[in-house]
Structure 1
Amino acid sequence: FGHGLSISPLHMLRAMSAFVNDGFMVPPTLIKRSEAEAKALYEPVISPTTSGYIRYLRFL
């Protein structure tokens, strides 16, 4: 008890992006990028299959 975990909404958004982007974590930005620039920054963190399972389970 007494040990809390706090994250900002931006951190939560970044973590959730991996589930909705087929396993790729996308860094948030305030500056608009082209699609090619954005895809160059994608970082695979989970498999697309796992991403699909998690998206499915969220709606059960």
Structure 2
Amino acid sequence: MQNSTVRTDARLGCDAAAARHGRAPDLDHRPADAGHFMAEEAPDETTEEIRDLVLR
């Protein structure tokens, strides 16, 4: 099982990863420097993260 990486997301005002940890214990949380449309605002980073998820 992969260890979770937990960081507080200041923009949300909460620790989003910790809030979801109960349902997704293998969560790997990495905040992106993008807004709502991540695929448009950070296409390379989004593609890399999706590729990593699919290849797990």
Q: State the TM-score, normalizing by the size of structure 1.
A: 0.29
The structure whose RCO (Cα within 8 Å, separation 6+) is larger is 1
TM-score (norm 2): 0.30
Bigger proportion of residues as strand: 1
Q: Which has the higher helix share?
A: 1
Say which one has the larger Rg.
1
